[in-house]
Structure 1
Amino acid sequence: EDRWWCAADIGWITGHSYIVFAPLLLGLTSIIYEGAIDYPKPDRMWEIIERYGVNILYTSPTAIRLLMKYGEKYPESHDLSTLKALGTVGEPINPAAWHWYYEVIGKNRCPIIDTYWQTETGGFTIAPSIYLGLPDLKPGSATFPMPGIEPDVLDENGKRVRDGEKGYIVIKRPWPGMMLTVNGDDQRYIDVYFSKFKNIYLMGDYAIRDSDGYYWLLGRSDEVLKVSGHRIGTIEIEDELVSMKEIAEAAVFGKPDTVKGDAIIAFVTLKDGYEKSSELIEKIKRKVRNDLGPIMVPEEIHIVNSLPKTRSGKIMRRVIKAVYLNQLPGDISTLENEASVDEIKRAMDLIKNRVVINGKYKGN
């Protein structure tokens, strides 16, 4: 009897698996929506939930942060009482976004099912399970492995890291639904997924397992920055940035630096009611320095109106980095709004054309 809405692009694995196949197999009602979740007004998602009596909402952390930007007035103007569970997918969810989702949308009564998986895994690998007994939830953690999944967190040498230390998340044994090869290229399958650790499947993400056995995902291991000898996950800095009351979204990446290895670059959007200023940028840097330490402070922070995203609401960090470095961004066929890329290009042009007067940049 459930009314389920997976608010993803149907072309992605989340879309066709959880908009089409799973709902039809279970015989429930599946909501299909074509369009942006904040158009024509920022209450589009909440209006659809109210109109169709949606029970379960499944969306991305990026979409949640986008809607946080507009404040609480929009969800509070709609009846969301039919909701009984909230899901997230696509990337780690920041604790600040988790709390907003749980408190503002779920009214402190809807569990948040944070699902960690890949196209290659065929389904969820780590997630809270209502049907197996919902565990205590920790904001930002995907909790525990699903049946048949045996994960671990390893260091560079394939040794299990201590609880609380970051490492590569892997799956140690075959599981239901795992892919068997890469089409037409068995060797590539072996090289990409099984060459780093023999006979162990490499997920390609960094993670931490805490002393209670909960798993915390830190994003792609190839997005980890090496700053002055320190390995830093981009999600760690993004979490800190979006915890600020002024910031709605953040995308962090590294640019090559001959001294540091990587220099930290951040692009952020602001919540409604806040304006771009040099004072705000300095405030952001101070907070990162005080909370995380000087090594984690971004060298540059750029405030823009929007970030490039897929139609399912996932920030395209590789596109931002490519535009910043004056490189070709590659395939952008899934980009929701090409204007966001143009805005980043304009921001870069302004930076290149700034003039130094008395030791300071003229212009913003």
Structure 2
Amino acid sequence: MAYPYQIKSLEDYQQQYQQSVIDPEGFWANVADHFYWRRKWDKVLDWNFKDPDVKWFTGGKLNITENCLDRHLGTLGNTPAIIWEPNDPEERHRVITYRDLYNKVCQFANVLKNNGVKKGDRVCIYMGMIPELAIAVLACARIGAIHSVVFGGFSAQSIADRIQDAQASLVITCDGAFRGNKDIPLKSVIDDALIGCPSVKKVIVCTRTRTPVSMIKGRDLWWEDEIKQVETMGNPPCPAEEMDAEDMLFILYTSGSTGKPKGVVHTVGGYMVYANYTFVNTFQYQPGEVYFCTADVGWITGHSYIIYGPLSAGATTLMFEGVPTYPDAGRLWSIVDKFRVNILYTAPTAIRSLMGYGLGPVNHKDLSSLRKLGSVGEPINEEAWHWFKDHIGKGRCPIVDTWWQTETGGIMITPIAGITKEKPGYATLPLPGIQPILVDETGKEVTGNNVNGNLCIKFPWPGMLRTTYGDHERCRTTYFATYENLYFTGDGCLRDEDGYYRITGRVDDVLNVSGHRIGTAEVENAINMHAGVVESAVVGYPHDIKGQGIYAYVITERQTHDPELTKKDILQTVSRIIGPIAKPDKIQFVSGLPKTRSGKIMRRILRKIAEGELDNLGDISTLLDPVVVEEIKRGRL
């Protein structure tokens, strides 16, 4: 077996799990021993959840790219590292071997160095799903620069907020991106974003769509020209920067319950060990398998399970530029057929959307290569689970319904493919090293089975966030202050008679739309920027495709003569400020919002109305004006 720490059976899982709880340091030291370290650690773990202060593999020295690239060259140099499938099925795909990838990463790392990027500098990456995105990420890691990847659907304002927060000195982007039948003008969005970002000195632009772009002298450079300069120097190798295990690897911004996105920080050593361990075990990865994760690298799933997890395991990872429904709803199945994909990891939103097209697009596609299926981003509903299992896995592929977060760095609670007994809708059991606990509102542990509570984790794991960039207090108050000595996930959870965990949804003011977390405050702030809006309140409601939709209650300055046009204006404003991903699905104009006498909006009431539970609103006697509730109920969309 290629991975000595790979779980082999249910008994082995139980044994590893027990060991990881009794002796966590010994357990993780044993896993970490299988990586290349320039210098071994002095201490495996140092921690408290009060500050919080968590350190793994203290004193250890390494570079994550040596573990993803260099150490594979002798045995896997000619093996495909990345298979890239373009948006347009008529365009040629690309296969990049481990040796190719190593050379390209060294090349671009030298480009970054030529442009003044040093260890510790922050680099913002805003690109489409092309191999150069993975190359840019790994090149940053190679020289010790901290990458901050921003999803290609965010607006100029959202990018500016992230660049300013990280004080990024360089941006890597493309002229544009192809996504389904759309061309996304990435460079012009960056140009708008940089108007208020003096920290950015250089912008490197990779050619993809051949969209005309503005190139500012002294600031903007073409990727291809910069590569040519390195080639004229004879393509020198780029030695990997020695990093401390606790040095920052990347910042990834995630929505919070306040308007400002949080920069979640992951560090080199612990994150590497955890991303690899969870990849190899959850998917029961076997050498030579073709693994296809449909996520975007702009999200944590792309970081952990397209780039770092698979590459550190010497896997073949498939990157797809397009969307599941372009040019038709059979695209994912065509890719599985074309590349003989063995493992498919996708989102419930994608599955539900494809279910709507019936079995026509699935028929006549050869899916016999599939061995394992996975789902990520939100709990998968039973109907979608069965459709995925029966029609895509043909009843023979295990499904891993994985629960985890940007902050956890990797998968936390999941079936292990082919080992854990599955139960539709359940994330089932924690991986070794993960100690979940359910608590009530007061923080008291809810013990036993057949119980509900708020999901917390009571012991550190290597992949966990270390801080929120530039604001450690925010990290403490968001994740560690709600319940003493516990990491609070923000999710509600049920534990059934088998001890299996089922995530029941967010218990804070964060929405989960198509597997992406969006803060209600963030959307409200954007709506309130619209000239005619006085105030708004946003809640989630059940949505057939997205899982959760966004329902906005909006008070305008005066009665609107053309409500439909005003709604379109508001949607345009939200798109401009955050990005299309945050556009409300429903906007209801109201004259007032249900508030307590202290002025707090009672979202619980608004949520129930949005969900259609009109007769079960609970006690509304504490409201300043209970009459407003009747008006909102009557106007429900």
Matched, 1:208 2:454: no
Partner-residue secondary structure (3-state), 1:57: strand
Partner-residue secondary structure (3-state), 2:350: helix
User: What percent of counterpart residues are identical?
Assistant: 45
User: Is residue 342–residue 370 contact of structure 2 (8 Å, CA) maintained in 1?
Assistant: yes
TM-score using structure 2 length: 0.39
How far, CA to CA, are the matches of 1:163 and 1:109 in structure 2? Answer: 30
Partner-residue secondary structure (3-state), 1:75: coil
1:116 pairs with 403, 422, 431, which one? 403
Given residue 193 of structure 1, which amino acid in structure 2 is its aligned partner? Y
Given residue 422 of structure 2, which amino acid in structure 1 is its aligned partner? L
Given residue 468 of structure 2, which amino acid in structure 1 is its aligned partner? V
How far, CA to CA, are the matches of 1:167 and 1:83 in structure 2? Answer: 36
Matched, 1:160 2:445: yes
Matched, 1:184 2:430: no
Partner-residue secondary structure (3-state), 1:76: coil
1:342-353 correspondence runs (5 A): 344=586
How far, CA to CA, are the matches of 1:342 and 1:79 in structure 2? Answer: 38
How far, CA to CA, are the matches of 1:188 and 1:146 in structure 2? Answer: 28
Task: Assess, with a 3 A threshold, how the Cα gap between structure 1 residues 223 and 67 changes in structure 2: closer, same or farther.
Answer: farther
Task: Assess, with a 3 A threshold, how the Cα gap between structure 1 residues 165 and 263 changes in structure 2: closer, same or farther.
Answer: farther
Offset at residue 73 of structure 1 (A): 2.0
1:17-56 correspondence runs (5 A): 17-56=304-343
1:321 pairs with 525, 548, 551, which one? 551
How far, CA to CA, are the matches of 1:315 and 1:329 in structure 2? Answer: 20
How far, CA to CA, are the matches of 2:430 and 2:541 in structure 1? Answer: 32
Q: 2:423: which partner in 1? A: 138
Q: CA RMSD in A?
A: 3.2
Q: 1:333: which partner in 2? A: 579
Offset at residue 205 of structure 1 (A): 0.5
Offset at residue 126 of structure 1 (A): 0.4
Partner-residue secondary structure (3-state), 2:508: helix
How far, CA to CA, are the matches of 1:234 and 1:179 in structure 2? Answer: 20
How far, CA to CA, are the matches of 1:41 and 1:93 in structure 2? Answer: 23
Which structure is richer in relative contact order (CA contacts within 8 A, separation 6 or more)?
2
> Deviation per CA, 1:36-95, whole angstroms, max 9, x where unpaired?
110111101101110111000000111110011111221122010000000010001101
1:195 pairs with 473, 478, 481, which one? 481
How far, CA to CA, are the matches of 1:157 and 1:181 in structure 2? Answer: 25
Offset at residue 195 of structure 1 (A): 1.0
1:129 pairs with 388, 411, 416, which one? 416
Partner-residue secondary structure (3-state), 1:109: coil
How far, CA to CA, are the matches of 2:579 and 2:307 in structure 1? Answer: 22
How far, CA to CA, are the matches of 1:120 and 1:77 in structure 2? Answer: 41
**Mind listing any 5+ residue stretches in structure 2 that lack a counterpart?**
1-287, 514-519, 521-536, 556-566, 590-633
Q: 1:95: which partner in 2? A: 382
How far, CA to CA, are the matches of 2:327 and 2:437 in structure 1? Answer: 44
Task: Assess, with a 3 A threshold, how the Cα gap between structure 1 residues 209 and 329 changes in structure 2: closer, same or farther.
Answer: farther
Q: 1:9: which partner in 2? A: 296
User: Is residue 65–residue 97 contact of structure 1 (8 Å, CA) maintained in 2?
Assistant: yes
Given residue 470 of structure 2, which amino acid in structure 1 is its aligned partner? G
How far, CA to CA, are the matches of 1:144 and 1:265 in structure 2? Answer: 27
Q: 1:353: which partner in 2? A: none
How far, CA to CA, are the matches of 1:189 and 1:343 in structure 2? Answer: 31
Task: Assess, with a 3 A threshold, how the Cα gap between structure 1 residues 264 and 199 changes in structure 2: closer, same or farther.
Answer: closer
User: Is residue 223–residue 234 contact of structure 1 (8 Å, CA) maintained in 2?
Assistant: no
Given residue 502 of structure 2, which amino acid in structure 1 is its aligned partner? W
Matched, 1:171 2:457: yes
How far, CA to CA, are the matches of 1:222 and 1:194 in structure 2? Answer: 14
Q: 1:249: which partner in 2? A: none
Offset at residue 209 of structure 1 (A): 0.6
1:272-311 correspondence runs (5 A): none
The structure with the larger Rg is 2
User: Is residue 116–residue 127 contact of structure 1 (8 Å, CA) maintained in 2?
Assistant: yes
Offset at residue 103 of structure 1 (A): 0.7
User: Is residue 512–residue 548 contact of structure 2 (8 Å, CA) maintained in 1?
Assistant: no
Task: Assess, with a 3 A threshold, how the Cα gap between structure 1 residues 316 and 143 changes in structure 2: closer, same or farther.
Answer: closer
How many pairs does the alignment contain? 266
Offset at residue 167 of structure 1 (A): 1.5
How far, CA to CA, are the matches of 1:266 and 1:324 in structure 2? Answer: 16
How far, CA to CA, are the matches of 1:209 and 1:94 in structure 2? Answer: 17
How far, CA to CA, are the matches of 2:412 and 2:328 in structure 1? Answer: 35
How far, CA to CA, are the matches of 1:10 and 1:100 in structure 2? Answer: 27
Offset at residue 344 of structure 1 (A): 5.0
Task: Assess, with a 3 A threshold, how the Cα gap between structure 1 residues 324 and 63 changes in structure 2: closer, same or farther.
Answer: farther
Given residue 170 of structure 1, which amino acid in structure 2 is its aligned partner? C
1:107 pairs with 391, 394, 407, which one? 394
**Mind listing any 5+ residue stretches in structure 1 that lack a counterpart?**
225-232, 236-252, 254-261, 270-306, 308-313, 350-360
Task: Assess, with a 3 A threshold, how the Cα gap between structure 1 residues 265 and 165 changes in structure 2: closer, same or farther.
Answer: same
Task: Assess, with a 3 A threshold, how the Cα gap between structure 1 residues 333 and 213 changes in structure 2: closer, same or farther.
Answer: same
User: Is residue 323–residue 329 contact of structure 1 (8 Å, CA) maintained in 2?
Assistant: no
Partner-residue secondary structure (3-state), 2:414: coil
Task: Assess, with a 3 A threshold, how the Cα gap between structure 1 residues 211 and 56 changes in structure 2: closer, same or farther.
Answer: same
How far, CA to CA, are the matches of 1:265 and 1:54 in structure 2? Answer: 35
Given residue 362 of structure 2, which amino acid in structure 1 is its aligned partner? P
User: Is residue 551–residue 584 contact of structure 2 (8 Å, CA) maintained in 1?
Assistant: no
Q: 1:289: which partner in 2? A: none
Matched, 1:63 2:63: no
Task: Assess, with a 3 A threshold, how the Cα gap between structure 1 residues 343 and 95 changes in structure 2: closer, same or farther.
Answer: closer
How far, CA to CA, are the matches of 2:402 and 2:501 in structure 1? Answer: 11
